[in-house]
Amino acid sequence: MTLTDPFQQLQSALDLLDEQFFSPEPFTLRGCTQCYGEEDFEVLSGPVHLVPDDLVVATVLEVPSHWSDFPGLFRRMTPRILRAAVMDELHVFPDMLATRLLEAGWQQWPAPQRDAVTDLWHAWLRATLHRFPSTAPVGDAARVIAASTGTLKPWLDIWSNTLTPAADQHLEDLVDDWNAEWGMEDLRLGAMDEYHATPELTAWLQGAVWNRLSRTQQDELSAMWRILAESATDG
């Protein structure tokens, strides 16, 4: 395994999260006493590696107002949360994870922590595109990354440049899943629909990867775009 191996890069990115987010500074958390007891707040205030999985998930599932310091709680739990997401062990809807990252203000974190998260986005996507089936569905990774960063284009560019059979199989699945389940004519990502993905996704499908789609998918997408164009004209 070489340093350019995408799976080694992913592991290195996960390890870097642990390093950058470790803090010896004391942390005190309070929260909703109807949902959690004193022992829960003590555990969440203590060493991150000792927090049980259910409380890690609660950091994502509960609304921020449940906690006295949601940004602080989420930031210190970030390595646990994102490692579980990458390993498909978080069991939280990806749009919810993206929204919580935004609510935690991850793009205003100290540069080393912000860069470590961004490095993970690159490594997660590249590793996913080199294996089919992947540990976590590529659609989940794409939803988290795009909604939390507010763009699809740089991540789609990585996909365009990944010329592997696995990347093509993921492309087929992504088009089928997103078109059937979410409707690519108006695709919005994030639990609060923070990011409108349709413009960038459409441009990518019509351009860089069009010839990598199956004929059936090309026909279905062309029909959808034609109907949308006619509707816009009629309107």
Confidence label for 174 from pLDDT (cuts 50, 70 and 90): very high
Lowest mean pLDDT among 11-20, 73-82, 151-160, 176-185: 176-185
Helix, coil or strand: residue 196: strand
Find the DSSP H helices in 46-136. 53-61, 70-86, 94-103, 111-129
Per-residue pLDDT at 2: 44
Total-model pTM = 0.94
167 has a pLDDT exceeding 90? yes
Listed as own residue / partner, the contacts of 52-55 with beta carbons closer than 8 Å and 24 or more positions apart are: 53/84, 53/89
CA 78 to centroid of chain Cα atoms = 13
Confidence label for 182 from pLDDT (cuts 50, 70 and 90): low
Confidence label for 202 from pLDDT (cuts 50, 70 and 90): very high
Give per-residue pLDDT as tens, 53-84.
Answer: 999 999 999 999 999 999 999 999 999 999 99
The mean pLDDT of 147-154, rounded to a whole number, is: 97
Per-residue pLDDT at 94: 97
Per-residue pLDDT at 1: 39
Distance CA 197, CA 127 (A): 22
Per-residue pLDDT at 181: 73
